Structure 1
């Protein structure tokens, strides 16, 4: 076997660059004739026998994704000419052409362990100023080793599914190629399909190349520059305001403070507020801070695991088998942790309303709604602004268009839905920042809550019956929808992306389906309100023990009861899913209710002490920002990954990534969240001065004056007596001020 026209070293270079990429279609030398002959001989002897039909199919797939890929027959003249020129230059050992070919994804090892995401070399391709494309292939007829190649289909998907939120590659193959920059996705897809037809008798391969999955250095930025400039200007103003306010706040020589609106942005002031663990509010329930922390942590790990499933692993089948054990039910039932947040929202909202009704006999709904908007909107707008106009332009990678750019495009179209908190009324696939759906539900339930709480306060018996019926109706909605549409509230083994999306659209993001636990929160707040003026709740040790056993049993039933859904080979049962969808929120929130009740009245033991740990207050102030920033961080790392990794269970605990989330959450809270809450208080105080603030201010001023008088009184006993008389006058005047404040 010789190489008559090329030196041996050149034959080796050409072989390494082109084998598994372009083959004999690119170079017609005797080297490739010999290589292909050897390859055919090996396949005929080992792969293409009746007992190894699947491996023969793999060989055919290798041909489709590795040979004849360049669109030399494209209708696009420029693309066709550039492709032919690239082939000719490769024969001449042109470095540019060899780099293009060398960057293509090659048929890999560990295919039977799920290594079917082949990015090739993204950076090598784009540095040649050519176009990198990540194509998708579906292999419906590959059956013999299908469960190994596709990692047991832990998530089932089709070509029609949207992959910007849930990974597609557990039923599909993704392959990176490099083509001339003049070629489009249409040109490449046409060439691929033409090549696939000659092998379709063995594999039935389907090929898709999306325009968004093709990237070149010369392409315009994913997000328009004008939007990016506006976004940078907004963030620049925020940062400048914070710096200016902080410098002014640190100026100890300034006798008078500057504009109160500007001082809302002081980092010094807001840092103290963020880290304050001593100040208590009468409406606070300390153990809820711990419940919020644990629920947020569970959701963080669940979301992180979903992010890991986008990544290419040379042992993806190991990932599927590890998560196919009973313990993974803890993550698959993550929906109950979102129920916990809905329950706490109903509890705290109702508690606040009931306290206001007790003081005033009426509700200031307008003021409450404005406060709610100031609480939710600034952070949400800041994250949308960043994710839409800045985030897509700061980096790139093979999966960047799928997990970052797609979200940006959706936000450019539909961000207004988020601004009005109605985005959860629209399909999940067409939602700006899908993880913010909970905000829409929470706002809608909040808007309904004043009427519900007022009726419960005014007409307790009839309203309680009405609320129970409403909760039962919401439960029935979940059950019926799950039965009728084959929904899955659990991410069971083998669940399809279409089923998850259908579950989200028809139940998960609908407030009418999630209202049960919100109403439970209202009832719990009403119970605490009734107990407020009574003697402390006394329970025997037997009662406490029975309560914990009962509560833990219900909680564990909701958390790990459906453990069989996590096992490899699970077959979906709509009745089982419907029962879980209907009753798991009730079971889980009953457990939380007991944990909160026992901790609130001092029967929580070590768990109550843990949940009431004062430093959880800091996390509570950061929780909203952590909720908003975690997915952008996860998707940044997914989008910039450019090579296959080795999966380990420890990948779930990426503390550097968690550190970035924490840092961004602190920044968002200090720059946006707390300043706008301060600004809301300033604006409301100008419209209607708060009586409490007037009294506190007068107390403070009187205290300073009293101290000065006492200092003067140290000169002589006569002066001290005079100071005491003046103190008495001050106390009388302070009482008058309180009376004035009360009348106001």
Structure 2
């Protein structure tokens, strides 16, 4: 009888845990001692699932080890409910090793299911249930059930139980949120992906052998040695720079990429079970977290640098050879970005789901792999920020779409700025103002909050990813590149008071940016509509102007010790890896998230600790990614374009 009480308590726990007031027994409108009546009411159909659950209950009564393991693996109400500890996991791995031979014709194995529960009677569609903020599985229980049970069986069983106790809360089972521990069979696309990755690796090995044995002493590029790991690694880890390079950009790029990874780590902290989920929202309004949230501007730093380099490199190349090959201009860009991006898309859409397992591994499939199965083509064409932006394949690739679209349109600007510089600069400033005005209007009319906290689909689609709302930093970068080109090599004399004022202005601007982020993050009412619209429309412009001043000070010789740090040779290597790191960072983070087995304690020190693990692993993964999918194709592009 004690076992029966325990089983019923655990079955009723999800419903009674969230009920308001009253004792446990007062919520149950029948006599718990009538165990047979209860079982007949719950399991009122004859099917394999119900029969195996009855055998499971009988095994518990008899004290059989396999049945107790299933019960032990099922989640129980945890302490800390008031602090947000409402994702009850249980023991995923213990459940999947359950394997009981009942008789010659019946075998009962464990299956783990994550069951969200809420007040909605009917279950949502799985695609609707898994929203961007994962809000609908913020309360869930992990159940270890017989493998014969599918979601339809379990929903009927628990619907009967909920009806019996008149529960205001309802559990929802989905086959997609269940795992039985079987090894997944490789699909045709999986085999294709393995073949592609294997071929590239084999090509790299053969190319390395060829380069070392045949053309090691050759100084001219060789097409057959383009995939050589030895030659590409030498180029990757080289600290040599040309006289035209802007040393401080290496450090700025490396630090900005680290900042982006830290921001993504903070974001995905909300995707894992936390014993203090309610408290973490308070932590997210601290001054440190404001610095983390400011990391969203690191993307604008890359836009600024991209616009700067488009103009700066073009003007330098044109000074050496006035005959510009626009074909080479585009081909170099495509070979620079597309192979590594295509490899990432291939991994996302095929093998990603096979890399791990866990009670929340389904997030990996629905948030990442499924989106690439459906929308891989838009990402490969660099239009994903306008075509299905909320279902984007490789979510962070929206930046590549914006940057590539601007790059492809840049020849108009490049020609114009060489012929009519003043008119072109004026047009650029007008475009920046128009973009900011549009962002303000959309933000204000739709009451969209600040674009860094609580990202919604509307915010993501209307102001966060479109090229026309993110163009300002890139355009400011083009003006900066034009100025630097004409100032490079010249001695610019500035008074000490001007230099000191510039540095004080920079410090004040960066501090103000952090403060504004914290101020808006503290707005729990959503009443700061005007302030949020003003923030969304001006913050990226102000950040770009401040960063432009910093770069100008470094380039003109007034950067001091900061310029020395940013121009450090180590940053040059890290800067070369920023593209590959940007592509693979999310894979590293979600691998950890999807394999989560127990609730963690959310704290700043925990977040920082996890960030350094993410950063180091991302760095390790990005090296072979760059050597296999980035450097070789850049070499091929150089060779082909040189010959043509």
Same fold flag (TM > 0.5): yes
CA deviation map 1:295-325 (0-9, x unaligned) = 1111111111112222222233343332232
**2:140 is matched with which residue?**
174
**1:670 is matched with which residue?**
627
Give ranges in structure 2 of 5+ residues lacking alignment: 30-34, 99-108
Aligned match for 1:95, one of 42, 65, 68: 65
TM-score (norm 2): 0.88
Aligned match for 1:641, one of 586, 590, 596: 596
Matched, 1:423 2:384: yes
Aligned match for 1:478, one of 427, 439, 453: 439
In 1, the alpha carbon distance for the partners of 2:444 and 2:215 equals 70
Structure 1 segment 344-383 matched on structure 2, within 5 A: 344-361=305-322, 363-383=324-344
**2:49 is matched with which residue?**
79
**1:573 is matched with which residue?**
528
CA deviation map 1:574-624 (0-9, x unaligned) = 211110011100111111101100000110111122112122110111101
Q: Secondary structure at the match of 1:333?
A: helix
Taking structure 1 as reference, are residues 657 and 113 closer, same or farther at Cα in structure 2, changes over 3 Å only?
Answer: same
Determine if contact 1:333/1:490 at 8 Å carries over to the other structure.
Answer: no
Determine if contact 1:136/1:208 at 8 Å carries over to the other structure.
Answer: yes
Matched, 1:452 2:416: no
Matched, 1:593 2:548: yes
**1:270 is matched with which residue?**
232
Determine if contact 2:73/2:144 at 8 Å carries over to the other structure.
Answer: yes
Taking structure 1 as reference, are residues 443 and 252 closer, same or farther at Cα in structure 2, changes over 3 Å only?
Answer: closer
Q: Secondary structure at the match of 2:440?
A: helix
Aligned match for 1:659, one of 605, 609, 616: 616
In 2, the alpha carbon distance for the partners of 1:173 and 1:438 equals 33
**2:459 is matched with which residue?**
503
Please, which moves more after superposition, 362-371 or 518-527?
A: 362-371
Aligned match for 1:520, one of 467, 473, 476: 476
Taking structure 1 as reference, are residues 255 and 313 closer, same or farther at Cα in structure 2, changes over 3 Å only?
Answer: closer
CA deviation map 1:638-694 (0-9, x unaligned) = 11111223334222223333322111011111122111111111222232xxxxxxx
CA deviation map 1:411-433 (0-9, x unaligned) = 11211111111111133431111
In 2, the alpha carbon distance for the partners of 1:501 and 1:607 equals 39
Taking structure 1 as reference, are residues 524 and 16 closer, same or farther at Cα in structure 2, changes over 3 Å only?
Answer: farther
**1:544 is matched with which residue?**
499
| Deviation, structure 1 residue 407 | 1.4
Please, which moves more after superposition, 481-490 or 615-624?
A: 481-490
Matched, 1:562 2:502: no
Matched, 1:18 2:7: yes
In 1, the alpha carbon distance for the partners of 2:268 and 2:88 equals 18
* CA RMSD across the alignment: 3.3
TM-score (norm 1): 0.77
Please, which moves more after superposition, 424-433 or 579-588?
A: 424-433
In 1, the alpha carbon distance for the partners of 2:330 and 2:56 equals 63
**1:212 is matched with which residue?**
176
**2:210 is matched with which residue?**
248
CA deviation map 1:204-250 (0-9, x unaligned) = 435433332112234855xx522221111111111122222223333
**How many positions carry a matched residue from both structures?**
621
In 2, the alpha carbon distance for the partners of 1:227 and 1:335 equals 35
**1:32 is matched with which residue?**
none
In 2, the alpha carbon distance for the partners of 1:176 and 1:53 equals 19
Determine if contact 2:184/2:354 at 8 Å carries over to the other structure.
Answer: no
In 1, the alpha carbon distance for the partners of 2:21 and 2:398 equals 44
Q: Secondary structure at the match of 1:423?
A: coil
Determine if contact 1:164/1:402 at 8 Å carries over to the other structure.
Answer: no
Structure 1 segment 274-293 matched on structure 2, within 5 A: 274-280=236-242, 282=244, 284-293=245-254
In 2, the alpha carbon distance for the partners of 1:280 and 1:253 equals 25
CA deviation map 1:446-484 (0-9, x unaligned) = 111111121121122322222222111111121111112
CA deviation map 1:528-585 (0-9, x unaligned) = 233347x422111111111122233223322332322333845442211110011100
| Deviation, structure 1 residue 510 | 0.2
Taking structure 1 as reference, are residues 160 and 405 closer, same or farther at Cα in structure 2, changes over 3 Å only?
Answer: closer
**1:467 is matched with which residue?**
428
Determine if contact 1:22/1:101 at 8 Å carries over to the other structure.
Answer: no
Taking structure 1 as reference, are residues 337 and 255 closer, same or farther at Cα in structure 2, changes over 3 Å only?
Answer: closer
**1:119 is matched with which residue?**
89
Taking structure 1 as reference, are residues 459 and 258 closer, same or farther at Cα in structure 2, changes over 3 Å only?
Answer: closer
**1:730 is matched with which residue?**
none
In 1, the alpha carbon distance for the partners of 2:474 and 2:432 equals 9
Taking structure 1 as reference, are residues 441 and 297 closer, same or farther at Cα in structure 2, changes over 3 Å only?
Answer: same
**1:619 is matched with which residue?**
574
Determine if contact 2:353/2:364 at 8 Å carries over to the other structure.
Answer: no
**1:608 is matched with which residue?**
563
Give ranges in structure 1 of 5+ residues lacking alignment: 4-10, 25-42, 141-156, 688-744
Matched, 1:685 2:642: yes
Aligned match for 2:265, one of 304, 314, 335: 304
Structure 1 segment 185-264 matched on structure 2, within 5 A: 185-197=151-163, 204-218=168-182, 220-221=184-185, 224-251=186-213, 260-264=222-226
Q: Secondary structure at the match of 1:576?
A: helix
In 2, the alpha carbon distance for the partners of 1:61 and 1:635 equals 40
| Deviation, structure 1 residue 84 | 3.3
Q: Secondary structure at the match of 1:133?
A: strand
Taking structure 1 as reference, are residues 60 and 483 closer, same or farther at Cα in structure 2, changes over 3 Å only?
Answer: farther
Determine if contact 1:192/1:207 at 8 Å carries over to the other structure.
Answer: yes
In 2, the alpha carbon distance for the partners of 1:69 and 1:536 equals 89
In 2, the alpha carbon distance for the partners of 1:218 and 1:17 equals 30
Instruction: Determine which structure has greater relative contact order: mean sequence separation of CA pairs < 8 Å that are 6+ residues apart, divided by chain length.
Output: 2
| Deviation, structure 1 residue 277 | 0.7
**1:725 is matched with which residue?**
none
Q: Secondary structure at the match of 1:21?
A: helix
Please, which moves more after superposition, 560-569 or 299-308?
A: 560-569
| Deviation, structure 1 residue 71 | 11
In 1, the alpha carbon distance for the partners of 2:356 and 2:395 equals 21
Name the larger-Rg structure: 1
In 2, the alpha carbon distance for the partners of 1:408 and 1:70 equals 42
